[in-house]
């Protein structure tokens, strides 16, 4: 049975919902991407290109990497599962709390031992130097989400490069999930993409899902530090892992100019707006830099907010977290205003009950 462990399940409602549970671009899918899907409709009766040549060339040009180190799949989750299936790690380390699919993929590929490096609240959910004490040559694979999900806190590039060097020394594959890196104001201070060709045993995970609001199309990819790793992952992909509509949409997205810069500015403005509002209402946040905000509430918010037709993400299923932690996406100003106004009403009611 499929478990509901992610955000974005709007389908359980039969009316309009303000979805703050899925971390998608508040600007929505670019018009050029929509047009690419529509204008190529006559091509959809044929099988997709099994080698995704057109899409791979566009990704190669966008990131300035060789085509033979790119693997495309049916969303980032597909790439995660295919990577563990290809590399077959026997012992792995996950920086947690984080995206659950890393552990799910490791379990599906029969990984014998899965350990977690725990990000501590008293340290601001920031990675610490002691991770180097944990990481030895007994590990086959390390997973790091940067910026992390659900906290929205990124790891500086300098630390990531040091970790990649340690992994090279210990012969450990390092998968860095950078699916949210485009939302960072100063992305170049955190991403190792521009260093990928000089690294060893590194896999950078990317997706069109978040930044281009293409969640329903399912399109993700990874860029490997070497062709051998890429070929191993490609060998575990299904023959037609990317549909033609998704491929056309992805190519159009890669050819956009100015969209990411526009998104960064819009997200920053509205993230700051939400952070100020949450602080005024007395909620604790943790200095996020992505397009979502991780915060704590002593009172339940899921049910009360659903009465206002608002859906947020409970973080209770994340390792070390409980029902007091939540995550909200940065949405449009109108949606953000409605969220804060609704939350204010709930907060006042809770305070009234406490005082009464």
What is the per-residue pLDDT for 323? 96
Contact 42, 183 (CB under 8 A): no
Domain 31-254, classified CATH 3.40.640.10, yes or no? yes
Q: How far apart are CA 109 and CA 103, in angstroms?
A: 10
Name the β-bridge partners of 284: 296
- Helix/strand/coil (H/E/C) assignment for every residue in the chain: CCCCCCCCCHHHCCCCCEECCCCCCCCCCCHHHHHHHHHCHHHHHCCCCCCCHHHHHHHHHHHCCCHHHEEEECCHHHHHHHHHHHHCCCEEEEEECCCCHHHHHHHHCCCCEEEEEECCHHHCCCCCCCHHHHCCCCCCEEEEECCCCCCCCCCCHHHHHHHHHHHHHHCCEEEEECCCHHHCCCHHHCCCHHHHHHCCCEEEEEECCCCCCCCCCCCEEEEECCHHHHHHHHCCCCCCCCCHHHHHHHHHHHCCCCHHHHHHHHHHHHHHHHHHHHHHCCCEECCCCCCEEEEECCCCCHHHHHCCCEECEECCCCCCCCCCEEEEECCCHHHHHHHHHHHHHHHHHHHHHHHC
Whole-prediction pTM: 0.94
What is the per-residue pLDDT for 196? 97
Contact 205, 179 (CB under 8 A): yes
What is the per-residue pLDDT for 238? 86
Residue 329 CB-density burial (10 A; 0-12 exposed, 13-18 middle, 19+ buried) = buried
User: Residue 4 contacts by C-beta under 8 Å, 6 or more apart in sequence?
Assistant: none
Q: How far apart are CA 194 and CA 65, in angstroms?
A: 9
What is the per-residue pLDDT for 2? 40
- Side by side, the strands of the sheet bearing 292-296 are 284-285, 292-296, 325-329, 313-314
User: Residue 82 contacts by C-beta under 8 Å, 6 or more apart in sequence?
Assistant: 71, 73, 233, 236, 237
Say which residue the tokens 């590194």 belong to.
202
- Side by side, the strands of the sheet bearing 91-96 are 70-73, 220-224, 202-207, 173-177, 141-145, 91-96, 113-118
356 residues of the chain, pLDDT tens digit each: 445 454 555 545 556 899 999 999 999 999 999 999 999 999 999 999 999 999 999 999 999 999 999 999 999 999 999 999 999 999 999 999 999 999 999 999 999 999 999 999 999 999 999 999 999 999 999 999 999 999 999 999 999 999 999 999 999 999 999 999 999 999 999 999 999 999 999 999 999 999 999 999 999 999 999 999 999 999 998 889 999 999 999 999 999 999 999 999 999 999 999 999 999 999 999 999 999 999 999 999 999 999 999 999 999 999 999 999 999 999 999 999 999 999 999 998 766 565 54
What CATH number is given for 10-28+258-355 in this structure?
A: 3.90.1150.10
What is the per-residue pLDDT for 14? 58
Q: How far apart are CA 336 and CA 355, in angstroms?
A: 28
Residue 129 CB neighbour total at 10 angstroms: 8
**Cα angle at 220 between 214 and 225, to 5 degrees?**
150
Torsion of CA 94, 98, 99, 103, to 10 degrees: 30
CA atoms within 13 A on the CB side of 20: 33
Q: Looking at the chain, how many residues does it have?
A: 356
Contact 142, 108 (CB under 8 A): no
Q: Could you tell me which of 144, 156, 138 has the C-alpha nearest to residue 119?
A: 144
What is the per-residue pLDDT for 254? 98
| Chain centroid to CA 128 | 21
Every domain of the chain and the residues it spans: 10-28+258-355, 31-254
């Amino acid at each position: 049975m499929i478990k509901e462990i992610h955000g974005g399940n709007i389908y359980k409602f039969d009316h309009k919902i303000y979805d703050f549970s899925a971390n998608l671009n508040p600007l929505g899918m670019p018009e050029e991407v929509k047009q690419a899907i529509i204008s190529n409709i006559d091509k959809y009766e044929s099988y997709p290109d099994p080698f995704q040549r057109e899409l791979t060339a566009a990704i190669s040009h966008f990131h300035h990497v060789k085509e033979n180190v790119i693997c495309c799949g049916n969303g980032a989750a597909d790439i995660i599962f295919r990577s563990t299936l290809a590399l077959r790690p026997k012992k792995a380390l996950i920086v947690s709390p984080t995206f659950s699919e890393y552990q799910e993929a490791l379990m599906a590929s029969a990984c014998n031992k899965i350990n977690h490096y725990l990000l501590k609240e008293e340290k601001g959910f920031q990675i610490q130097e002691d991770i180097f004490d944990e990481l030895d040559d007994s590990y086959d694979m390390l997973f790091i989400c940067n910026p992390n999900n659900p906290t929205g806190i990124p790891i500086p590039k300098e630390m990531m490069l040091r970790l990649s060097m340690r992994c090279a020394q210990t012969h450990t594959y390092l998968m860095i999930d950078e699916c949210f890196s485009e939302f960072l104001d100063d992305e170049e201070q955190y991403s190792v993409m521009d260093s990928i060709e000089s690294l060893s045993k590194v896999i950078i995970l990317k997706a069109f899902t978040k930044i281009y609001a293409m969640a329903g199309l399912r399109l993700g990819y990874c860029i490997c530090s070497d062709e051998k790793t890429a070929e191993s992952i490609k060998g575990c992909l299904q023959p037609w892992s990317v549909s033609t509509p998704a491929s056309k949409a992805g190519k159009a997205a890669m050819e956009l100019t100015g969209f990411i810069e526009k998104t960064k500015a819009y997200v920053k403005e509205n993230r700051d707006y939400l952070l100020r509002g949450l602080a005024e209402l007395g909620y604790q946040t943790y200095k996020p830099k992505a397009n979502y905000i991780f915060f704590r509430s002593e009172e339940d918010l899921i049910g009360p907010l659903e009465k206002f037709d608002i859906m947020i993400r409970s973080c209770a299923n994340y390792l070390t977290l409980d029902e007091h932690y939540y995550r909200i996406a940065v949405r449009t100003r109108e949606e953000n205003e409605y969220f804060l106004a609704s939350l204010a009403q709930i907060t006042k009611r809770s305070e009234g009950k406490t005082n009464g």
